[in-house]
Structure formats: C-alpha cells, structure tokens
Chains A and B, each alone.
Chain A
C-alpha cells in the first residue's frame, strides 16, 4: 500500500482481504454465536416437552386406551375415550359460541366503528384476554352452574358450562386475530368494490371477508389450541366423570376432559393411572399439533399478498 492511503482518516482503505481478528469482525462473530445460542435455548423447552411426553406416553397408547372408560383406582386396563370426546365436545361448544360472536364483533370493529367506540372495545377485548382462566371458570360456575336467576333449562355441572367457559377464553383471541386479519386486507380492494357500486355490507361479505379467511382461520386455530388445553375453567364447570358424556340427558352432569383427566391422574398414587395421564397428555399435544397443521395446509394460500 502506498503512503497516500496511509494518511486517510479511515486507515488502510485499500485492502480487500478478510480481517478475522479485527475488533469489528470479532464482535460480529461473537454476536452471531450468542444469537444462535439463544435460539437453541428458546427451542429447548418446546423440544424437551414434546420428547418427554412422547417418551412417557407412547408406551401406554393402545386401542384400549383410546376406546375404553377410565378404570377404578388400582384396576388395570381401561382408557380415556370419554375424555377425548369430552374435550372435543366442549371445545366444539366453545367454538360454536365464540366464533360467530368474535368474527362479527371484529367485523364491526374493523369496518363499521371508529374513534372512541373502537378504541374502548379493543381495550376491553385486551383486558378480557388477560383475565386468568380460573376467574373465567369461577364466573361460569356462578352464572351457569349455580344459575342464580333461574333462567337456564340446564343447571349444575355440564358440558354446556364447560363449553361456555371455554368460549369466554376463546373470544378475545378470535376478536383480536380477526381484527388484525381484516386490517391486513388492503384498502384499495375496498375502494375497488365501493367504486363498482357495492354497499358496505356487500364489500365486507364479498370482498373483505373472503380475502381475510386464511388469517381468520389461523386465529381460530390458535383459540382452539388454547381452549383444548385449559384445565382451571373446566374444574368448576364440567368437573370429571368416569362415564361417557350424557348424550341422552342433554349433556347435563359432569363431563370428562383430557386436561382434567391429566390433572386427576398425574399425581394419583396408582402407577396405571399415571401412565394413562401421560398417554392423555400425548394425545392432547398431538390433537393441538394436528389442528395447527391442518389449518396451515387448508389455508395454503396464506395471507393476501
């Protein structure tokens, strides 16, 4: 290098070679390592949980476990089929209540409201999403199970009460994600629709909603995944039972669910019940995983680009 370059305030400008020991490069390399380590640490709990549940539960999964009722303590055999059905049933009831209300509320928020009404509604939704699930359970207990005003046809512990509690948990998730999904639809699409002489209702139902469906479905999946795993609300509303759901009696009476079964059996002093708890955990994780994958595949068009 010539002397003219040595006098540049930037130092040795002319050289194109790597300088692995220069402070800048060293620092950059160090930060790369740090970031990578953090990623590994962040993934660790997820992988650890999945593997551990898989390892503990896989040996207890068999046709009997998936089709039979829970055995009395100390008795071998039996399964948790009623819990699988119960979870599906109560999440289903929760979804049936929360999806229509949630999506319509989000449509109102995004398309028809503005200013303070919209702001306060969004705020209230966020507060609701932060309410501890056990409080939701107690609330459902007070309203549905105890039925203080005598308004309900069915009272007491029931799948309806459980589904109702889950619906309250699912509602804010659905409202928030649908709201975001609708906001993602570009305004130029709305303008095109309005420009063709469509009313606001037609624009929302024929253009905005269809475009937002993939993102809305993702939100619904998230809500379902959350609801399927909740235990506290079900403790006050559906309890647990060794028997099938009460199909002939209008689904009244305590109803089994996977989460509560795990709660009851995991710490029971009987080895077989603990094994069933692990198996139930594995089934629950797999159900949630499956729902996410199915939703991803079904909405392969992804969010509108």
Chain B
C-alpha cells in the first residue's frame, strides 16, 4: 500500500527513489519504495524494528556498498542524478550526503583533528581554524570545547560526542545529513539538545532521520514516512505504508496500520 508521494514540483526534491527494491542476496528486504525528500526539511522514517528504515537511509549515501550481499534495483536520484549509476563515485556521493550514526563514533584523535579530518581528505584549502569554529558553533558545541580543542574526542560525554560527530559531518559542508537514530544512545537532556540542533540545522541542510521514538519524530520532523513489515515465509520484508506531513501522520493518518503504530498499539 503506497501513498502518492510525487508532487508536481520536482525541483526542490533533493532525494527521490523510483521503484527501489533492496535485496540482500536473494532476499527482498525493501519492496518498491517511491519516496521524495524535500530540501531543507526534516523527514523522519519511523516503523517497527527490522522494517528497513536504516537500510533505506544507508542507500542514500551508498554506505550499503560495504555489505557484500547488498543489491539495489531501481533508482535513487539525488538532484536528478541516479546515485547507483555506473559512472557515479560513491566516495563523492558521501562528500555531499553525510551521516551521523546511532552510537557516537568520534575518532581517537583530538577534537580539532576530528573536525578537520573530512575537509583535509577532501582537499580543503581555506582556513581550517575558522572552519572548526564554525562547525562547532553550528553544532552547539563550541562554548563547551573551545578551550580544549587538542584534547581527545573520546574525553567528551556521550551527548557531546554526538554533537562532535554532527560537527564533523557538517565540516565537509554536505547538502544532506542522514541521521540513524542519533539520540538512542543519549540521555534525555542530551536528546533534547540534539533535537534543538536538528531544528536549527534544517535551515542550511536537508535532514533525514530514522527514529524509534515517535514523540521525537513528531517534535522534530516536517514530513514523516511510516514503514512496516510484511512477514513473508517468516522473513521480514519492508514496505512504505504512508508518507505525509508529520501532523497528518500522527493526528489523521490515512492507513489503519499507521494509526495503530503511532498510537502505540504495536511497535
């Protein structure tokens, strides 16, 4: 069951999928996804465990390439270029589409070196110090670490480490930031901090966030996509149930399973 997600105006749709089917070996994990992500908005992917939200997210920056049995059929279009085209370099894709992971994973280097890692390998020629300050300010971390930039990134608390990872992702100046359950390893206060940050960031970046936390999705996102699993022969096949404005999905969803999920009747 899929909703019609195509709107007439396609120029401000940064990421689009067309009939995307994702296989692990011969197992079809995600079936026939057609989804348009709008520019400078926060889009949330919600759904029960194993429905393929993270898998879809990782298609956008070709991180699924690291899995040997992965295969994608259909198209993933970024600014109307198919990311899975034969002539596309995944390294360049990841430069423009960044990612923040579920558990904070700063490098065992100094805070400064963490931030400049991306720019350095991408040949940044400008003022690194200024870039570091700008990225840390955007990530709402500058005041807390400005005096200890040479200390290890691992010496920070969990919430600070995650904001460091966000700053690190921003430093390469991507267009899109993908966030895979960025707050699930954080305490509630840090979570709210990061959510605040996401609301600020959407001014400059397009954000797609996978979350298990429905309250978070309703707080933070403009659009919400609900995925569900179709148990076929005991294996879980994911599909897109409904994709609409967040208020609609949470208050007046069109599909019954959406209604049941957001009201907590299953998950």
CB distance from A183 to the nearest CB of B (A): 16
Chain A contacts for B169, CB-based, 8 A: 195-196
CB distance from B78 to the nearest CB of A (A): 14
Question: Please, how many angstroms separate the alpha-carbon atoms of A198 and B93 in the complex?
Answer: 11
B165 located at the interface, meaning its Cβ lies under 8 Å from any Cβ of chain A in the complex: yes
Given A114-B68, A304-B108, do A195 and B121 touch, yes or no (CB 8 Å)? no
Q: Please pick, from A186, A194, A197, the residue contacting B66 in the complex, using a CB distance under 8 A.
A: A194
Question: Please, how many angstroms separate the alpha-carbon atoms of A207 and B117 in the complex?
Answer: 9
B91 touches A191 (CB 8 A): no
B220 located at the interface, meaning its Cβ lies under 8 Å from any Cβ of chain A in the complex: no
Chain A contacts for B193, CB-based, 8 A: none
Q: Please pick, from A114, A188, A193, A304, the residue contacting B103 in the complex, using a CB distance under 8 A.
A: A188
Q: Beyond A193-B117, A195-B101, A197-B91, list 17 extra A-B contacts (CB 8 Å).
A: A189-B105, A189-B107, A191-B101, A191-B105, A193-B107, A195-B61, A195-B94, A196-B121, A197-B94, A197-B118, A198-B117, A198-B118, A198-B121, A199-B91, A202-B121, A206-B121, A210-B109
Question: Please, how many angstroms separate the alpha-carbon atoms of A173 and B203 in the complex?
Answer: 54
Chain A contacts for B118, CB-based, 8 A: 196-198
Question: Please, how many angstroms separate the alpha-carbon atoms of A179 and B239 in the complex?
Answer: 40
Question: Please, how many angstroms separate the alpha-carbon atoms of A276 and B132 in the complex?
Answer: 62
CB distance from A59 to the nearest CB of B (A): 48
A-B complex: 3 closest residue pairs judged by Cβ atoms: A197-B95, A196-B118, A188-B105
B168 touches A196 (CB 8 A): yes
Question: Please, how many angstroms separate the alpha-carbon atoms of A238 and B91 in the complex?
Answer: 51
Among A193, A194, A305, find the residue whose CB has the most chain B CB atoms closer than 10 A: A194
**Interface footprint category on B:** 20 to 34
Question: Please, how many angstroms separate the alpha-carbon atoms of A290 and B108 in the complex?
Answer: 28
Question: What are 8 A-B pairs with beta-carbon distances under 8 A?
Answer: A114-B68, A188-B103, A191-B63, A191-B66, A192-B101, A193-B117, A194-B63, A211-B108
B207 located at the interface, meaning its Cβ lies under 8 Å from any Cβ of chain A in the complex: no
Question: Please, how many angstroms separate the alpha-carbon atoms of A206 and B168 in the complex?
Answer: 15
Total interface residues in chain A, CB < 8 Å: 20
Question: Please, how many angstroms separate the alpha-carbon atoms of A305 and B154 in the complex?
Answer: 10
B172 touches A196 (CB 8 A): yes
Question: Please, how many angstroms separate the alpha-carbon atoms of A207 and B169 in the complex?
Answer: 16
Question: Please, how many angstroms separate the alpha-carbon atoms of A32 and B124 in the complex?
Answer: 62
A197 touches B105 (CB 8 A): no
B165 touches A192 (CB 8 A): yes
Question: Please, how many angstroms separate the alpha-carbon atoms of A207 and B109 in the complex?
Answer: 9
CB distance from A199 to the nearest CB of B (A): 6
B251 located at the interface, meaning its Cβ lies under 8 Å from any Cβ of chain A in the complex: no
Chain A: CB-nearest residue to B178: A195
Contacts of A163-219 to chain B: CB distance below 8 A: 186, 188-189, 191-199, 202, 206-207, 210-211
Chain B: CB-nearest residue to A197: B95
B117 touches A206 (CB 8 A): yes
Given A202-B121, A206-B117, do A194 and B94 touch, yes or no (CB 8 Å)? yes
Chain A: CB-nearest residue to B117: A196
